[in-house]
């Protein structure tokens, strides 16, 4: 049997589309409504409520908590302040990315780490001589994301904390109508938004208070389809879609270093030691072979391709996760791994891996498109990530 | 304080490494945790011929003693079997109880000796590296294969067949007599957490047989450690009561040693004769190691199963070395107990009268090796009463096997935790890493590392490295050769 | 039939495979099977009317994809049904289940150990690499490591190059896998006893070893070999029982023109001038052929069919030294209802998979201890399937057949396998299983107990060893069954071997038969 999140009683009742999918052994909604568009637009225009419970979460505490995390992740955890959230990768001994996630400093000696993959063993195996406790709270901690321009207003109505003062990538304790939660100003949409972390027993209660308070602000339960579009617009990568975990790679060509994923900024080489540091220091000295970039496809080119077969462009309504070749002339110089039509930007965009020489923004390349059973090429160019970066995100 | 090389541990291998480094002109400092004293236990094992040849040891101090007969075994019907250095004499002795086995004895001895000789060639050099891309190392690989092949089809075939075999199957192929098989079978499981039916135990017997004369399946004893220490003055310093607690690191490389009292000794080369886990996880520490190295170190199996008893007897018994173990099933049943975390109800034992002690007061000292005594019995950790119970069991077995067994005046029983503390044997395992096939040759001390470690300039020169415990001093000599080859 | 080019002694699956490939290449092939049906130890029989038993072997494990393709076995009736789960009941009423779905499997493992749930995937990845590294060896004719012949040296070099190409990490991991005990190997990865025991059980099947014996880890690869085979993964249950595998291969052989005769037991190989010249049947008939291929095990082939006096002394010594020591038994049951497992009551998907009685490593070791000293295991290891749950035709409607594979039942039982001992063994099996499924005794209509002595007598397997000889390291690859004669040939010109007593050995793979045929054709015989 697949697991139900603690919100399942609510989400199941709302899932008119019956479009479910698996995420980390749970079943979650791909979309709720029959037509998923509104859920996406809520992210950009109102407030979307997303069940993100399937994330793996670990509570790391004790005297050596920061030391343990610093052995594992590439960012400098020891230097973080209480209430700060770090986005980071962590790597194997060869400097290849295993996973990416966040480390939130809840207090001096307590951290909560999130990850896309289970990492309990990895953490424990690094804790050999340390005074630290590691608790897998993945199932006991429920999590919601409330993302969009009205998200702050909704939470301000409910919580007793200084929400306006909660800066980007900070976390605070709070109560929502008396229910204890932690709220972080983080998210996966590249917009103004919050993630709410709570004891699974309070899940339905928290869901209900949010829905009730958010009704006047356009709160809309949203599924993964909507989230996918938003995250691509935000230029945010997804494990096992945009990159293969070093844990799962079967051949060397499937491995990626943080530099190759445009995440060099998460690598603190002045940290004395962490797993993979030696290899990453070497790589930092030279140039990586691959880069992770944004790609924007020229509309006119798409129009021409479809016009050739007597049609207007038929682009998928839902984001795709596939491997799509990118060419320069005859040579393949990379591949896109996620893509979508952005309803907000009115552009066909993708996230892609390209060889370093083709990575500067503006570089022209061709993206493969299947038009009426034939493989064709559309004109595209490398674009800066994120595609969408509103001021309200950090305001 | 500084030197050009530090050796941690003044055991046989540590001292051998120190001697070779000093011979090559390095200034060596040896650090020994124990206060200076004689090792009470004679050193058992054939000695690496290079050590005898190169280091100019005082042979009187060395005192190699080969027992004759090398073993005495009580027979089921009440008689005794004695096995001698002289193969023909042994064959004659066997003929009384098993004529067909007597016929096969000389050929068996020759074959095992030839195989042990091949292994000795492998043992007295760093392990071959099958993965190497370097032309010189590839040449060496080819030479090893060629040398082996040149010894003849039979030897090469034996090597391929016998190495993975159990000692029980090997002996079943050759002999019928249970007693004979038990005596030799024990050589395949000495200090090992396996029974004679386990694969790889033939290799263990051959490992111990290296450097021994054909037909002798117990190692000689000597005072090698004392001789090595005695030859040190003028060559290098041995500091006793100097416990290393940490390896100094600079830029991730070994740069010296920190002692318990805080003193730091700098040196660009550190050779450690302790076991791999202690060296890497305690002296270096997980901070400086990647998860792969940590997991590899944790995975090393070193389960001690030996109890060493010292008995003081009222009189000299009528044997030199006595083995008690009826047949291979007896050995296997003794192991079965250990498998489930129990002390063997019916241990097999080998009792040796100490040849070095003059019986001036008429008392004899007998050292008894008993198996199996697991390091951490499932029911409870070792207590004095458990030690005493084991001691009583051993004495019972001796009394059952030896008519007119002299009275036991006193007895000390040391089980794996005690041996760990006394001799630095991790969990009571003198091989450091058990001599199993997957911990052999290029898999020692960590797969593919030779004598080095993930920490540059830190070397492992004790039995944890190739070739293991035997022949004595080989690991230390190989480590020194590696250090000298690399350091320039 | 005109005189055949090749006679194949034994209609087991390897003999049939060999015959099919030879016939496909245009040889006139005659297969002689002593029993009334082909298949050897891969047979389906209606021992009791209406109930079809896979009498001996009961799952298709690693039937080679190339054989399935090249002989078009599906076109000859082969239909392999998936065996997707394994249930390990535990004495305290709990259980460990391993499911086909990744998420479901993970969730179940996490119930026992979060660490093991994570380790499982990584372990699978490592095994994938190991299986990939080993796979070419499976379809390789073993070289002679002692020969100085340039062809053999080239083969050795190719083998060496293959292993060097794996890289240090993989090579060392493979070395560990090949030399360690299943228990030690799994201890490095997992903490759940039932998981370790169930996995390591594959290492003890058909061997005279326990999970703590060195040399049992590599058999863990078996299950993961199937991953390499990808969509061709043939780890499952053959519709109609394992006999249908043999029948399909026989059908393919016949389609290519081979003649398969049953009820034709061979007494010996005809030898003239140190050459095989045909065979003599037990009824005295002589059939000439200039090539004879034996699908029987090395003892039967050489000590019985060929005759010691026709063979060199050192070869005979080698063959005598080659160990069999059968240790497996079988209990086949006809049931009038389904077993009700205390840990998972009622009908359910678990009954469509395997049930493994392997609650801990110590349990398996104690079972092995009994065998070491000449007794059958009082509380044996069992691998149980209910074929009728997957293939309804195996039993009358509402009834079921249950196939119980058992270890250990040593061939050399103290006092020998008398009828009374057989029944006592059967009782021990039923008693043990009843601890987990208490209704068992009430639902048994008929029971058939097979001991190693029975396996030897009926299927012609020496000492009842199901692999034609132990799969221990010293009897594998170029040592199987003897160095210098591990290339399917024998010291007698024209006499070839194609059974599991040659590389790669093992279950119902067909690889030996195919490789033998290829070698034979390449040699121009």
The radius of gyration computed from the CA coordinates of chain A, to the nearest angstrom, equals 21
Q: Kindly report, residue by residue over A222-276, the tens digit of the pLDDT.
A: 999 999 999 999 999 999 999 999 999 999 999 999 999 999 999 999 998 899 9
- pLDDT above 70 (res B356): no
Co-location of A192 and A337 in the same domain: no
What's the confidence (pLDDT) of residue C77? 96
| Coil/strand/helix, residue A17 | coil
Residues of A in contact with C169 (CB under 8 A): none
| Coil/strand/helix, residue C383 | strand
The reply to whether A126 falls in a domain is yes
Q: Are the beta carbons of A247 and C107 separated by less than 8 Å?
A: no
Residues A340, A318: Cα–Cα separation, whole Å: 7
Q: Which residue has the tokens 């008398």?
A: C418
Considering only alpha carbons, which residue of chain C is nearest residue B149?
C146
Co-location of A297 and A368 in the same domain: yes
Q: Kindly report, residue by residue over C285-329, the tens digit of the pLDDT.
A: 999 999 999 999 999 999 999 999 999 999 999 999 999 999 999
The reply to whether A233 falls in a domain is no
CATH at residue A308: 2.40.30.110
Residues A105, A82: Cα–Cα separation, whole Å: 5
Mean pLDDT for chain C overall: 94
- pLDDT above 70 (res C1): no
What's the confidence (pLDDT) of residue B37? 61
Look at residues A57, A56, A58, A54 and name the one whose alpha carbon lies nearest to residue A2: A54
The answer to whether residue C104 neighbours chain A at the CB level (below 8 Å) is yes
The answer to whether residue A56 neighbours chain B at the CB level (below 8 Å) is no
Best A72, A247, A269, A273 member to test B by mutation, with max B CBs in 10 Å, is A273
Number of other CB atoms surrounding residue C158 within 10 Å: 12
Selected residues 222-281 of chain A with any CB under 8 Å from a CB in chain C: 247-248, 250
Asked if residue B3 lies in contact with residue B27, where contact means CB atoms within 8 angstroms, the answer is yes
Asked if residue C478 lies in contact with residue C318, where contact means CB atoms within 8 angstroms, the answer is no
Q: Which residue has the tokens 């780490």?
A: A113
Look at residues B446, B471, B469, B472 and name the one whose alpha carbon lies nearest to residue B459: B446
Residues of C in contact with B295 (CB under 8 A): 188
Q: Are the beta carbons of B295 and A125 separated by less than 8 Å?
A: yes
Of A315-324, B53-62, C219-228, C462-471, the least confident: C219-228
Number of other CB atoms surrounding residue C28 within 10 Å: 17
Residues C151, B323: Cα–Cα separation, whole Å: 50
Q: Are the beta carbons of A1 and C122 separated by less than 8 Å?
A: no
**The pair of three-digit structure tokens given for residue C184, joined into one six-digit string:** 């030690």
Chains within contact range of chain A (3+ C-beta pairs < 8 Å)? B, C
- pLDDT above 50 (res B488): no
Q: At what angle do helices C361-372 and C193-204 cross, to 10 degrees?
A: 40
Residues C221, C225: Cα–Cα separation, whole Å: 6
The reply to whether A116 falls in a domain is yes
Chains within contact range of chain B (3+ C-beta pairs < 8 Å)? A, C
Q: Kindly report, residue by residue over B280-322, the tens digit of the pLDDT.
A: 999 999 988 988 899 999 999 999 999 999 999 988 898 999 9
Closest CA–CA distance from residue A133 to any residue of chain C (Å): 15
Q: How far is CA A224 from CA A229, B1, B361, in A?
A: 9, 65, 89
- pLDDT, average across residues B345-374: 86
The residues, any chain, with a CB within 8 Å of residue C126's CB and separated by 6 or more, are C173
The answer to whether residue C317 neighbours chain B at the CB level (below 8 Å) is no
- pLDDT, average across residues C57-83: 92
Please give the residue that has the higher pLDDT: either B144 or B123. B123
Parse chain B into domains and list their residue ranges: 5-64+223-301+429-487, 71-219, 306-426
The answer to whether residue C135 neighbours chain A at the CB level (below 8 Å) is no
Number of other CB atoms surrounding residue A87 within 10 Å: 17
Q: Kindly report, residue by residue over B21-33, the tens digit of the pLDDT.
A: 999 999 999 999 9
Residue A97 Cα to chain centre, angstroms: 15
**The pair of three-digit structure tokens given for residue A36, joined into one six-digit string:** 């998923």
Of the partner residues A93, A129, A273, the one whose CB lies closest to the CB of residue B291:
A93
Co-location of A197 and A81 in the same domain: no
What's the confidence (pLDDT) of residue C205? 83
Look at residues C143, C166, C165, C145 and name the one whose alpha carbon lies nearest to residue C155: C143
Co-location of A33 and A89 in the same domain: no
Of the partner residues B281, B288, B294, the one whose CB lies closest to the CB of residue A125:
B294
Residues C71, C11: Cα–Cα separation, whole Å: 16
State chain A's maximal CA–CA distance in angstroms: 69
Confidence at C199, pLDDT banded by 50, 70, 90: very high
The answer to whether residue C223 neighbours chain A at the CB level (below 8 Å) is no
Q: How far is CA C186 from CA A363, B126, C112, C176, in A?
A: 51, 30, 16, 11
Selected residues 8-27 of chain A with any CB under 8 Å from a CB in chain B: none
**Residue % of chain C over a pLDDT of 90:** 85
Considering only alpha carbons, which residue of chain B is nearest residue A94?
B290
- pLDDT, average across residues C261-273: 96
- pLDDT above 70 (res B408): yes
| Coil/strand/helix, residue C376 | coil
Asked if residue C356 lies in contact with residue C367, where contact means CB atoms within 8 angstroms, the answer is no
The reply to whether A218 falls in a domain is yes
The answer to whether residue A125 neighbours chain B at the CB level (below 8 Å) is yes
Q: Kindly report, residue by residue over A134-155, the tens digit of the pLDDT.
A: 999 999 999 999 999 999 999 9
Residues of A in contact with C107 (CB under 8 A): 1, 3, 25
The residues, any chain, with a CB within 8 Å of residue B485's CB and separated by 6 or more, are none
Closest CA–CA distance from residue C222 to any residue of chain A (Å): 19
**Residue % of chain B over a pLDDT of 70:** 97
Residues B310, B48: Cα–Cα separation, whole Å: 28
Co-location of A216 and A152 in the same domain: yes
Confidence at B154, pLDDT banded by 50, 70, 90: confident
Q: How far is CA A265 from CA A246, A260, A262, A346, B284, in A?
A: 19, 11, 8, 30, 30
Q: Which domain holds residue A84?
A: 57-134
Confidence at B358, pLDDT banded by 50, 70, 90: low
Residues of C in contact with B437 (CB under 8 A): 179-180, 214
- pLDDT, average across residues C430-449: 98
User: Which CATH topology does B5-64+223-301+429-487 take?
Assistant: FAD/NAD(P)-binding domain (3.50.50)
What's the confidence (pLDDT) of residue A230? 98
Confidence at B357, pLDDT banded by 50, 70, 90: low
Look at residues A218, A261, A242, A222 and name the one whose alpha carbon lies nearest to residue A340: A242
- pLDDT, average across residues C388-408: 96
What's the confidence (pLDDT) of residue C279? 97
Question: In the A/B pair of chains, how many CB contacts fall below 8 A?
Answer: 24
- ipTM for this model: 0.93
Of A110-114, C48-52, C59-63, the least confident: C59-63
Residues C146, C130: Cα–Cα separation, whole Å: 27
Co-location of A331 and A374 in the same domain: yes
Residues of A in contact with B295 (CB under 8 A): 125
Confidence at B256, pLDDT banded by 50, 70, 90: very high
The answer to whether residue A185 neighbours chain B at the CB level (below 8 Å) is no
Co-location of A97 and A201 in the same domain: no
Residues of C in contact with A247 (CB under 8 A): 121-122, 125
Residues of B in contact with A273 (CB under 8 A): 287-288
| Coil/strand/helix, residue C8 | strand
Of the partner residues A3, A22, A118, the one whose CB lies closest to the CB of residue C118:
A118
Please give the residue that has the higher pLDDT: either B329 or C226. B329
**The pair of three-digit structure tokens given for residue C175, joined into one six-digit string:** 């070395």
Number of other CB atoms surrounding residue B133 within 10 Å: 8
DSSP assignment, residue B177?
A: -
Closest CA–CA distance from residue C129 to any residue of chain A (Å): 8
Which bin fits A218, alpha (ψ -120 to 50), beta or left (φ > 0)?
left
Query: How are beta strands A219-221 and B364-371 bridged, if at all?
Result: unpaired
Q: Are the beta carbons of C163 and B198 separated by less than 8 Å?
A: no
- pLDDT, average across residues C318-347: 96
Residues of A in contact with B288 (CB under 8 A): 273
What's the length of chain C?
525
Residues of B in contact with A122 (CB under 8 A): 291
Residues B105, C477: Cα–Cα separation, whole Å: 30
Beta bridge partners of B365: B312
| Coil/strand/helix, residue C53 | strand
The answer to whether residue C103 neighbours chain A at the CB level (below 8 Å) is yes
Residues A319, C90: Cα–Cα separation, whole Å: 46
Q: Are the beta carbons of C118 and A25 separated by less than 8 Å?
A: no
Residue ranges of E strands in C136-180:
none
Q: Are the beta carbons of A125 and B291 separated by less than 8 Å?
A: yes
Q: Kindly report, residue by residue over C94-142, the tens digit of the pLDDT.
A: 999 999 999 999 999 999 999 999 999 999 999 999 999 998 998 899 9
> Averaging pLDDT over each range in B31-35, B441-445, C81-85, C494-498, which range is the top one?
C494-498
Co-location of A101 and A154 in the same domain: no
Co-location of A62 and A98 in the same domain: yes
The answer to whether residue C435 neighbours chain A at the CB level (below 8 Å) is no
Closest CA–CA distance from residue B291 to any residue of chain A (Å): 7
The answer to whether residue A120 neighbours chain C at the CB level (below 8 Å) is yes
- pLDDT, average across residues A41-60: 98
Closest CA–CA distance from residue A76 to any residue of chain B (Å): 15
Query: How are beta strands B458-460 and B270-272 bridged, if at all?
Result: parallel
Q: Kindly report, residue by residue over C6-17, the tens digit of the pLDDT.
A: 999 999 999 999
Q: Are the beta carbons of A129 and B294 separated by less than 8 Å?
A: no
Of the partner residues B153, B197, B443, the one whose CB lies closest to the CB of residue C372:
B197
Co-location of A144 and A213 in the same domain: yes
- pLDDT above 90 (res C507): no
Residues of C in contact with A250 (CB under 8 A): 125, 128-129
- pLDDT above 70 (res B487): no
Burial B400-426 (b: 16+ CB within 10 A, else e): ebbeebbebeebebbbbbbbbeebbbb
Of the partner residues A128, A276, A278, the one whose CB lies closest to the CB of residue B294:
A128
Residue after which a domain boundary falls, among A134, A155, A188: A134
Peptide bond into B471 cis (omega under 30): yes
The answer to whether residue C25 neighbours chain B at the CB level (below 8 Å) is no
CATH at residue A92: 3.30.70.1400
Asked if residue A53 lies in contact with residue A143, where contact means CB atoms within 8 angstroms, the answer is yes
- pLDDT above 80 (res B361): no
Considering only alpha carbons, which residue of chain C is nearest residue B449?
C168
Residues of A in contact with C125 (CB under 8 A): 247-248, 250
- Estimate the share of chain C in helix, then strand, then coil, as percent rounded to the nearest 5: 45, 20, 40
Q: What is the number of domains present in chain A?
A: 3
What's the confidence (pLDDT) of residue A304? 97
Which bin fits C215, alpha (ψ -120 to 50), beta or left (φ > 0)?
left
Q: Kindly report, residue by residue over A279-330, the tens digit of the pLDDT.
A: 999 999 888 999 999 999 999 999 999 999 999 999 999 999 999 999 999 9
Residues B456, B288: Cα–Cα separation, whole Å: 11
Beta bridge partners of A376: A369
Closest CA–CA distance from residue B400 to any residue of chain A (Å): 49
Residue after which a domain boundary falls, among A199, A222, A245: A222
Of A264-268, B212-216, B282-286, C58-62, the least confident: C58-62
Considering only alpha carbons, which residue of chain A is nearest residue C111?
A139
Confidence at C245, pLDDT banded by 50, 70, 90: very high
What's the confidence (pLDDT) of residue C146? 84
Asked if residue C305 lies in contact with residue C269, where contact means CB atoms within 8 angstroms, the answer is yes
Phi, psi of B295, rounded to the nearest 5 degrees: -65, -40
What's the confidence (pLDDT) of residue B147? 83
Co-location of A41 and A144 in the same domain: yes
Asked if residue B391 lies in contact with residue B366, where contact means CB atoms within 8 angstroms, the answer is no
The residues, any chain, with a CB within 8 Å of residue B383's CB and separated by 6 or more, are none
- pLDDT, average across residues C190-198: 97
Best B138, B193, B438 member to test C by mutation, with max C CBs in 10 Å, is B438
What's the length of chain B?
488
Residues of C in contact with A124 (CB under 8 A): 115
Confidence at C227, pLDDT banded by 50, 70, 90: low
- pLDDT above 50 (res A359): yes
Considering only alpha carbons, which residue of chain A is nearest residue B295?
A125
Number of other CB atoms surrounding residue C507 within 10 Å: 22
């Amino acid at each position: 049997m697949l697991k139900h999140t603690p919100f399942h009683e609510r989400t199941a009742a709302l899932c008119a589309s019956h479009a479910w999918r698996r995420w980390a052994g749970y079943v979650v909604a791909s979309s709720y409504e029959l037509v998923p568009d509104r859920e996406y637009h809520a992210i950009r225009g109102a407030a979307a409520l997303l069940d993100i419970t399937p994330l793996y979460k670990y509570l790391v505490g004790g005297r050596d908590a920061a030391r343990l995390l610093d052995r594992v992740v590439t960012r400098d955890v020891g230097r973080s302040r209480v209430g700060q959230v770090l986005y980071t990768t962590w790597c194997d001994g060869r400097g290849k990315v295993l996973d990416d996630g966040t480390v939130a400093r809840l207090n001096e000696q307590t951290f909560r780490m999130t990850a896309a993959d289970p990492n309990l063993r990895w953490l424990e195996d690094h804790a050999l001589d340390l005074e630290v406790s590691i608790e897998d709270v993945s199932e006991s901690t429920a999590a919601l994301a409330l993302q969009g321009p009205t998200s702050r207003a909704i939470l301000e109505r409910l919580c007793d904390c200084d929400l306006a003062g909660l800066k980007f990538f900070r976390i605070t304790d709070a109560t929502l109508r008396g229910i204890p939660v932690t709220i972080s100003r983080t998210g996966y949409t590249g917009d103004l938004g919050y993630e709410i972390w709570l004891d699974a027993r309070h899940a339905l209660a928290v869901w209900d208070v949010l829905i009730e308070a958010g009704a006047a602000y356009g709160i809309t339960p949203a599924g993964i389809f909507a989230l996918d579009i938003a995250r691509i617009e935000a230029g945010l990568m997804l494990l096992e879609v945009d990159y293969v975990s070093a844990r799962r790679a079967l051949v060397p060509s499937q491995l990626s270093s943080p530099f190759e994923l445009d995440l060099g900024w998460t690598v603190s080489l002045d940290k004395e030691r962490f797993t993979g540091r030696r290899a990453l220091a070497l790589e930092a000295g030279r140039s990586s072979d691959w880069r992770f970039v944004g790609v924007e496809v020229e509309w006119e080119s798409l129009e021409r391709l479809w016009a050739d077969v007597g049609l207007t462009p038929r682009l998928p309504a839902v984001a795709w996760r596939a491997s799509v070749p990118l060419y320069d002339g005859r040579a393949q110089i990379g591949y896109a791994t996620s893509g979508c039509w952005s309803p907000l930007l009115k552009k066909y965009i993708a996230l892609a891996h390209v060889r370093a020489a083709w990575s500067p923004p503006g570089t022209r390349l061709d993206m493969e498109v299947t038009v009426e059973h034939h493989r064709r090429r559309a004109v595209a160019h490398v674009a800066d990530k994120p595609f969408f970066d509103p001021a309200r995100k950090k305001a | 304080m500084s030197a050009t090389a530090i050796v941690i541990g003044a055991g046989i291998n540590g001292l051998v490494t120190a001697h070779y480094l000093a011979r090559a002109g390095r200034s060596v400092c040896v650090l020994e945790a124990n206060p200076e004293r004689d090792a009470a236990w004679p050193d058992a094992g054939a000695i690496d011929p290079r050590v005898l040849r190169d280091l100019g040891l005082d042979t009187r101090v060395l005192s190699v003693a080969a027992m004759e007969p090398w073993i005495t075994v009580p027979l089921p019907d009440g008689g005794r079997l004695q096995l001698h250095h002289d193969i023909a004499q042994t064959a004659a002795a066997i003929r009384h109880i098993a004529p067909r086995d007597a016929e096969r004895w000389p050929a068996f001895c020759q074959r095992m000796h030839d195989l042990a000789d091949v292994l000795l060639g492998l043992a007295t050099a760093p392990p071959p590296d099958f993965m190497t891309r370097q032309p010189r190392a590839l040449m060496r690989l080819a030479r090893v294969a060629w040398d082996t092949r040149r010894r003849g089809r039979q030897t090469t075939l034996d090597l391929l067949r016998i190495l993975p075999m159990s000692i029980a199957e090997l002996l079943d192929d050759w002999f019928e007599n249970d007693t004979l098989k038990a005596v030799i079978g024990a050589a395949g499981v000495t200090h090992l957490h396996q029974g004679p039916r386990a694969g790889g135990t033939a290799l263990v017997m051959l490992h111990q047989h290296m450097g021994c004369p054909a037909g002798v399946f117990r190692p000689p004893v000597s005072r090698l450690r004392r001789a090595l220490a005695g030859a040190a003055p003028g060559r290098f310093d041995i500091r006793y009561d100097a416990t290393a607690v940490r390896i100094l690191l600079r830029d991730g490389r070994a740069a010296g040693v920190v002692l318990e009292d805080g003193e730091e000794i700098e040196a660009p080369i550190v050779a450690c004769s302790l076991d791999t886990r202690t060296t890497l996880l305690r002296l270096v520490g997980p901070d400086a190691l990647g998860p792969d190295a940590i997991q590899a170190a944790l995975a090393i199996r070193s389960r001690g199963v030996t109890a060493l008893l010292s008995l003081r007897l009222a009189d000299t018994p009528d044997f030199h070395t006595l083995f008690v173990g009826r047949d291979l099933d007896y050995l296997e049943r003794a192991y079965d107990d250990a498998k489930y975390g129990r002390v063997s109800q019916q241990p097999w034992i080998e009792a040796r009268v100490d040849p070095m002690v003059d019986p001036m007061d008429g008392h004899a000292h007998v050292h008894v090796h008993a198996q199996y005594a697991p390091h951490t019995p499932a029911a409870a950790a070792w207590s004095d009463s458990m030690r005493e119970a084991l001691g009583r069991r051993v004495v019972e077995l001796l009394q059952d096997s030896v008519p007119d067994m002299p009275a036991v005046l006193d007895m000390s029983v040391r089980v794996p935790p005690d041996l760990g503390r006394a001799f630095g044997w991790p969990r009571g395992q003198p091989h450091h890493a058990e001599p199993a096939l997957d911990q052999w040759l290029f898999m020692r001390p960590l797969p593919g590392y030779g004598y080095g470690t993930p920490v540059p300039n830190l070397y492992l020169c004790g039995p944890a490295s190739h070739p293991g415990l035997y022949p004595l001093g080989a690991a230390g000599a190989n480590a020194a050769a590696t250090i000298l080859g690399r350091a320039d | 039939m005109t005189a055949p080019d090749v006679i194949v002694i034994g209609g087991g699956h390897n003999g049939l495979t060999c015959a099919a490939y030879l016939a496909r290449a245009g040889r006139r092939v005659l297969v002689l099977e002593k029993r009334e049906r082909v298949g050897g130890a891969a047979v389906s029989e209606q021992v009791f009317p209406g109930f079809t038993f896979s009498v001996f072997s009961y799952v298709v494990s690693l039937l080679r994809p190339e054989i399935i393709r090249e002989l078009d076995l599906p076109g000859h009736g082969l239909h392999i049904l998936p065996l997707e789960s394994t249930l390990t009941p535990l004495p305290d009423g709990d259980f460990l289940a391993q499911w086909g779905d990744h998420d479901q499997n993970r969730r179940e493992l996490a119930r026992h150990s979060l660490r093991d749930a994570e380790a499982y995937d990584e372990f699978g990845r490592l095994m994938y690499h190991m299986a990939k590294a080993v796979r070419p060896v499976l379809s390789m004719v073993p070289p002679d490591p002692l020969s100085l012949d340039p062809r053999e040296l080239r083969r050795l070099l190719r083998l060496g190059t293959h292993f060097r190409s794996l890289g240090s990490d993989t090579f060392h991991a493979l070395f560990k896998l090949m030399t360690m005990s299943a228990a030690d190997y799994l201890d490095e990865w997992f903490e759940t006893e039932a998981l370790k025991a169930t996995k390591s059980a594959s290492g003890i099947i058909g061997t005279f070893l326990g999970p703590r014996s060195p040399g049992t880890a590599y058999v863990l690869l078996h299950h993961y070999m199937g991953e390499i085979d990808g969509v061709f993964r043939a780890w499952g249950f053959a519709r109609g029982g394992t006999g249908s595998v043999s029948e399909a291969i026989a059908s393919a052989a016949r389609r290519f023109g081979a003649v398969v005769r049953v009820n034709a037991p061979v007494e010996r190989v005809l030898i003239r001038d140190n050459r095989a010249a045909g065979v003599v049947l037990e009824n005295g008939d002589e059939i000439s052929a200039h090539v004879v291929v034996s699908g029987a095990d090395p003892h039967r082939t050489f000590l019985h069919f060929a005759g010691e006096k026709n063979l060199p002394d050192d070869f005979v010594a080698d063959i005598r030294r080659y160990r069999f020591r059968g240790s497996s038994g079988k209990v086949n049951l006809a049931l009038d209802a389904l077993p009700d497992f205390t840990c998972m009551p009622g009908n359910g998907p678990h009954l469509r998979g395997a049930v493994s009685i392997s609650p801990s490593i110590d349990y398996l070791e104690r079972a092995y201890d009994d065998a070491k000293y000449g007794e059958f295991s009082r509380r044996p290891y069992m691998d149980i399937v209910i074929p009728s749950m997957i293939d309804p035709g195996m039993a009358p409607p509402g009834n079921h057949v249950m196939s119980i594979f058992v270890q250990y039942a040593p061939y050399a039982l103290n006092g020998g396998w008398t009828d009374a001992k057989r029944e006592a063994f059967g009782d021990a099996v039923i008693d043990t299983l009843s601890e987990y499924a208490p209704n068992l005794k009430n639902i048994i209509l008929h029971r058939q107990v097979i001991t190693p002595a029975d396996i030897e007598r009926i299927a012609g397997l020496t000492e009842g060893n199901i692999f034609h000889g132990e799969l221990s390291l010293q009897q594998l690859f170029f040592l199987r069954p003897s160095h210098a004669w591990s290339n399917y040939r024998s010291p007698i010109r024209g006499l070839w071997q194609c059974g599991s007593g040659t590389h790669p050995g093992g279950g119902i793979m067909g690889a030996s038969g195919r490789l033998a045929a290829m070698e034979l054709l390449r040699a121009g015989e």
